[in-house]
Amino acid sequence: MMSPITTLKQFFALSLILASLFSNFTLAADDEKPNQPAYVELTPDFIVNYTTASSRLKYIKTSITLQTDSSHEAIIQANMPLIRDALVMFLSSRTDAQVSGAQEREKTREEAAVAVNIALKKETNQEPVKSVLFGSFLTQ
């Protein structure tokens, strides 16, 4: 039969092992959390002319925010001139039909994210932009 001291020692040893396992599990779970979302507002607003069938000059004025995650925010900040250029080139290639109506603007928003990620992929070998968000989108 075991003495009470031996049983107590085993209990404490088992408690330490379980506590150690639990603390490692908690740390591992914290490390596996997905990155928090981050939003990078592009300032100033974009004003670009876009393609029309007529000879009349038309403009898009939009405020844009990029959605990414916190681990990619620095990449976006460091490559802001490249991102702004990609967006200006993309928006100026739009047609009347591509900027008129909610469905067309949604497609433009999705395609803008692809255009920015293509430019960033060439420069950084990463595609950090999850989506492009329009705070405003005016055409004239």
Write the pLDDT tens digit of every residue in 22-72.
655 544 444 555 689 999 999 999 999 998 888 788 999 999 999 999 999
User: Where do we find the tokens 């004239």?
Assistant: 140
* Whether 38 contacts 69, CB under 8 Å: yes
Query: Nearest to residue 114, comparing CAs of 97, 100, 128?
Result: 128
- What pLDDT score does 9 carry? 65
Model's pTM, two decimal places?
A: 0.74
pLDDT confidence of 86, banded at 50, 70, 90? very high
Query: Nearest to residue 75, comparing CAs of 19, 35, 22, 31?
Result: 35
Average pLDDT, the chain: 86
Q: How many residues does the chain have?
A: 140
Q: What is the mean pLDDT of residues 3-14?
A: 61
- What pLDDT score does 5 carry? 63
Q: What is the mean pLDDT of residues 102-114?
A: 96
- Distance set, CA 91 to CA 18, 71, 96, 124 (Å): 58, 27, 11, 22
Q: What is the DSSP string of 30-58?
A: HHTSPPPEEEEEEEEEEEEEEB-SSSS-E
Long-range Cβ contact pairs of 25-29 (< 8 A, separation 24 or more): none
| Contacts (Cβ under 8 Å, ≥6 apart) of 47 | 59, 60, 61
Confidence check: pLDDT of 77 > 80: yes
